[in-house]
Every structure is written in structure tokens, then in C-alpha cells.
Chain A
Amino acid sequence: MIIECRGLEKSYKNIKALKGLDLSIQEGTIYGLLGPNGAGKSTFINIVAGLVRADAGSLSVAGKSIPGESNAVKKKMGFVPQDLAIYEDLTAYENISFFTSLYGLSGKEKRKKVEKALEFVSLTDRKKDLVKTYSGGMKRRLNLACGICHEPEILFLDEPTVGIDPQSRNHIMESIRKLNKNGMTVIYTTHYMEEAESLCDRIGIIDHGKIIAEGTLDDLQKIISENELLFIEATGDIGALTGKISKTVGILEAYAEENGILVKHNGQKGILENIIKHATDTGSEIHSMESRRPNLEDVFLSLTGRTLRD
């Protein structure tokens, strides 16, 4: 395992950000850490990156313990923070060159790596322009380039696609796949379940500072795939209808969502008839009903009773 942590704890004043986090990440994988805002994703990344210290627990990266051997680990690590940690009054070339030099690279070797990073994020033609003239997507790509310029073995990406256009998001996702193909282990935090589903080999779902489920996408879907999911698109008194449905025989759980109700049931006969009856009783109108394969949002909802964006 390239990253192994046991019982990691961290508190900020009265808030417990991590409550005994256990995690193992295999070398060469793209590992997604999925959870809502405040779940503890960034705290975990900040501990690994050496920005904050854990209060308790053990952590090792590439066989070296943190914080004891932090400096040796830092040389092997790339860090792409959630915020745009770049200098807007410098050019893209100057930004990458500066961050590369922090890893002890200089001269021809440094120039080569800077050009490679620029090319990787498709910014070569704008490398001499000041970053303040860039679009949001270009800045995000530069933010990524500054984290990979020294060609690390392990790359930490903390929500790298927040607030950017779909084109730049796709570019970043594609870049991460390429990096992984070249052997880089990628740890990716997000609260966008679509990103985790399409990108990650393994996913850890984190909530309230703990991993609540972990595995491949298939493993996680299996948590609720034994039961069936039904999405009812409806209008009217959704609250009352959800209440009645949840008390129906054969219904395991029911959650009100934006345009309707998500129902988890055991496939028992007569369920649909009962739902229609409840809709009539509450004065609600059902527009459609569809059975669907669970996604990570459903898994999270099923495990925590909340959506990822709550």
C-alpha cells in the first residue's frame, strides 16, 4: 500500500474533523475520496501534505511515516489545492518554474520539466502571458501543472474542478487519467459523484470524519443493489406522500428529492398500486415512475440519510 492510515484524528478547536480515519490506498490507482463539504476530505489531504498535524493515529506514505519523515515524502508528492494557489502577477512559465525549483530542480532539467508541464495542460502558447489574463479554466489547468511539474509519484488533488466550465473539467479529468496511465498514484477528493464514478478505481465515502464505505464502484453499488430503487416524479404534497409511502409494506426507505421521491423497496407485489393510491389520497400527481441502478449519490443517501450536497 502506498498510503496507509489508521485511527487518524484531528480537531480544530471544538470541531472534530477526523474521527479515527482508516484508509489504505494501493499504488498506481486513482483513489476517490467522496463526501459532502466538511466531511474531512481536505483535512486528510492537508495532513498527508504536511500542512497540518494529526492529533492521533498513524500515517505512512510510500513506506515513510508522517510527520517523522515528511521531507522525504514531500519530494515524492504533488499537491493541487482546492484554491487557485498560483501567482496572478507572474506568467504561467514563471509560476511553474518557481514551484519546480522548490523541489531542487534547476537549469536544463528544470526548463525541460516546465515545458513538459505546460504542454501537458495545453498552455504552451500562452506561457508568456500574465496569469491574471487567463480564464477560470486555464487557471485551474495551471494550478494542476504547478502540482505535477516535478513529476511526483503520488498526486493529491483537492476538488480540482470546482467552479469551472465543462470543457476545462473534461480536460482536467483526461489529464488525470493520463498521469495515472504513466504510473502516478492519484488521490482525488470531490463531492461530485459523477467525477468519482467516471474516474476512480476505488472510492472511499467519507462522512463526519470517518470512512463509512469503501471499495470499487461495483462494490459500493452492491450495498443497495439487493434492493430495488424506484424514482417517482411527482408534484403536489410531496412531504405527505413520502410519509405515507415510507409506511407501506415492502417499502424499506423513502426520501423526498427535488422533483419527486426516491424509494427503496424489496420488490414485493402490490407496491406500485399502493403508491398510486397514496398519491390519490394526498392529492399528489405522479408523472412518471422509473426503476434505476443505484449511483454513488444513492449509496451516500442510503448510508447517511443525506445527499452529498447537504
Chain B
Amino acid sequence: MKFFNFFTLYAKRTVRDRMFFLIMFLFPMLLIWLLGSAFSGLMGDSGTEGEVVVSANLIYTVEESSHMSDLFTEHMTEDNEFFTMTRHNDIKIGEEKIRRNEYDAYVIVGRDKITVYKNSYYNFSSSMGELIIKAFADDYNLMYEIAVTDPSKLSQEESISGRRFTEEISFDRQRMPRAIDYYGVTMSTMFMFYGVIFLGTYFAGNRQNKTEDRIKASPASILSYQWGTALGNIVLIVLQAVVIISAGILIFNIYWGEALGISMLVILGEIIMISSLGTILGLTFKSENAVAGISQVAIPAIVFLGDGYTQIGGTGVILAIKKISPMYWINHGLFDAIYLNEYKTAFISIAISLGVAAVCTLVVALLNRNRRTEDE
């Protein structure tokens, strides 16, 4: 019951804050429109037509001749609507070409192993190229296993040498995101992240103005206070997500894919993570200004690394740093799900978000225990 009191108090106070509406509803819509318009033509836009056929431009090297490399050469090197495959025998030159972004992906076919190097700039063509090669490898493995264990189970059409591997791949829509589609996703996930500030400053503000003391002096438990307030934040940000996504679809015709359920799970994971981070910040720092200051520095950095403002590319260390940002996994998880029907990154993103939330919950529990014994 008291849990519900904290929940409604947070919702009431936050909704009354004009800045909440400005930052959480108005700014995202404005930025989606502004960036979507400003960068149209630089991304997948093609005039008035939103749909663009994606074609992956791949380069490959056969490192060692084998049954697999023969099949690869036979079935995967014919040009088709999905990809073009160019052979190059020198691995060093191949690597150089992919580094210079001349191709979307570089495939090295070994004796019993296929290695794919994706173009360092995030684009859908390179992801699609990776998917095509992955489908080939999966199919080859399956067929090979069956052929070894029980060849009678393979029909004539499905014989290991006669199969057309790429027919297995189906794309939701053969298109790349327009600028408005891209920023429709990244600005939505970015402004949801600003929920950290609202929750963090709320907790810090309660400590600063001593209302937290009054709460602690009452019979209400500290857990009902923290969980009730954090849940209030989750509900408000979910509401924000529903409004921004719906408005984006209705006003700007932003494409969110067919598997909206998976995308919503990624976003819900993000919202849970945001609320746990906001709680930690609010309970760690005593002043609202400190929480707001830290968030205003950290959030743009996290969003930048997550390709939120633009696709920043990067290899090696840069890519490793990018992968530290939860926004990298959230944005890429969403784009893979929307444009490639590929959910692996989406599930990784959900796992990361929930993992961060679990760690934060543990830290909050430790903070509560320390405060009980050390009294700040």
C-alpha cells in the first residue's frame, strides 16, 4: 500500500514538471523531424520512395581448397538481388579493401571454417552479408551432418552439392532506413535515457530537502520508497515510449518493422536499466545538481558510442569501447530486428539491460545496508 503511495507521488510530481514534457515528449519529436530532414539523402532515403533494395557488396578469398570451398564458389558467387561476390586471392589486399570500406564484408573460406570481416561502419548491407554467409555455413553444417550420419534422409533436391543456400534467407522488407527512420529509433532510445535524470534528481532532491528523513522517520520501509518510486519512473517512461513511437509512426511514417514485440522488449529492457541507474545516481549523490551534471555528460557519450547521433564506425579499440555502451546494443539490436529480422543482438541488448539493472539493485541493497550501519 505504501509502495503505491510512493509510486503515485513520483508520477504526480514528475508529470507536473513542465521540463518533463519538454524533454521527454517535445524534444524527441522535434529532433526526429530536424535530423530526419537534415540528413535525408545521406542515408537510405530515395526521394519520395521510402523503400530501397539492400544489396551487399562482398569480397572473398579461398584460403584452402576443400569440399566446402567448392560448394561456396559454386553457389555463393553468382550475382543475385541480395549480393555481389568478388574473388580476390591476396588476403592482405582483401583486408585492406574492407578497411577502406570498399566492400561491405570480407569472407575468407578456409578448409573447414569461414571467417567474415564486417565493414567497420555500421550498415545494413554488411549485416546482411554476414547473415548470408552465416546461413550458408549453418546449412552446410546441417547437410554435412546428415550426409555423414544417414545419407538416405537427404532427398535428391536436398543433396549436399545441389542445394541453393541463399533461398533460406528471407528479409522482412528489402529496404534500408531513411534518415527519419534512423533518428526515429535513435532519438527515441536517447530521450528515454534522460529518464535517468528525472529519477536521479528526484531521489537526490528528497535527500537534499530532507523529505527523505521524514519518510525514514515514518513506519514506511525504505524498500517500498525506492521500489515504488523506481516503478513510477518505469511506468512514465513506458508511457513516453508508447507516445513517441506511436507519434513517430503516425506523423513521420517511421518504420519499426514487423517484429514490434521484440523491439518493445528491447525498449522495456532499456527502461528498466534506466530506472536502476537513476536510483543508484540519486542515492549516491546528495545534490540534484551533481546528478544532473553527471548525467548530462554521460548520456551524450553513451549515445554517441551507441551510434545514436550518427554511425561513427570504428575498429579494434574504438569498436570495443563502443560495445561498452549499452546504447550500442540497444540501437543495433533494434535495427537488426527491424530491418534484418535478426534478433540475436536484440536478445544480447535485453540481457545487458537486465544485467545492469540486477547489478544496480545489488548496489542499492549494499548502500541501504551501509547507511543503516554507518549513517552516512
- Cβ of B209 < 8 Å from any Cβ of A? yes
A interface secondary structure, majority: loop
Would you give 25 A-B contacts (Cβ < 8 Å), ordered by A? A46-B213, A51-B216, A53-B373, A53-B375, A71-B219, A74-B219, A77-B217, A79-B218, A81-B210, A81-B213, A83-B210, A85-B209, A86-B209, A87-B13, A89-B13, A89-B16, A89-B17, A98-B5, A98-B9, A99-B214, A102-B219, A102-B220, A103-B218, A104-B2, A146-B214
Once the chains bind, are A81 and B214 in contact (CB under 8 Å)?
yes
Q: A49-B217, A79-B214 are in contact. List 8 more A-B contacts (CB 8 A).
A: A75-B219, A77-B217, A86-B209, A87-B211, A102-B5, A102-B218, A102-B219, A104-B2
Q: Which residues of B contact A52 (CB under 8 A)?
A: 375-376
- Cβ of A2 < 8 Å from any Cβ of B? no
- Cβ of B12 < 8 Å from any Cβ of A? yes
Distance in angstroms from B351 CB to nearest chain A CB is: 37
Q: Which residues of A contact B210 (CB under 8 A)?
A: 81, 83-85
Q: Which residues of A contact B153 (CB under 8 A)?
A: none
- Cβ of B372 < 8 Å from any Cβ of A? yes
Beta-carbon contacts of A31-75 to B below 8 Å, as 1s and 0s?
A: 000000000000000100111110000000000000000010011
Question: In the assembly, what is the distance between CA of A87 and CA of B209, in Å?
Answer: 8
Top 7 closest pairs, chain A to chain B, by CB: A52-B375, A102-B218, A79-B217, A85-B210, A49-B217, A83-B210, A102-B220
State which size class the interface on A falls in. Answer: 20 to 34
Once the chains bind, are A101 and B2 in contact (CB under 8 Å)?
yes
Q: Among the listed B12, B216, B219, B375, which residue makes an inter-chain contact with A104, where contact means beta carbons less than 8 Å apart?
A: B219
Once the chains bind, are B219 and A85 in contact (CB under 8 Å)?
no
- Cβ of B215 < 8 Å from any Cβ of A? yes
Tally of chain B residues near chain A (CB < 8 A): 23
Distance in angstroms from A50 CB to nearest chain B CB is: 6
Distance in angstroms from A3 CB to nearest chain B CB is: 15
Q: Which residues of B contact A (CB under 8 A)?
A: 1-2, 5, 9, 12-13, 16-17, 209-211, 213-220, 372-373, 375-376
Q: Which residues of B contact A101 (CB under 8 A)?
A: 2, 5
Q: Which residues of A contact B (CB under 8 A)?
A: 12, 46, 49-53, 71, 74-75, 77, 79, 81, 83-87, 89-90, 94, 98-99, 101-104, 106, 146-147
Once the chains bind, are A106 and B375 in contact (CB under 8 Å)?
no
Once the chains bind, are B213 and A51 in contact (CB under 8 Å)?
yes
Q: Which residues of A contact B220 (CB under 8 A)?
A: 102
Distance in angstroms from A154 CB to nearest chain B CB is: 12
Question: In the assembly, what is the distance between CA of A49 and CA of B216, in Å?
Answer: 8
Distance in angstroms from A65 CB to nearest chain B CB is: 16
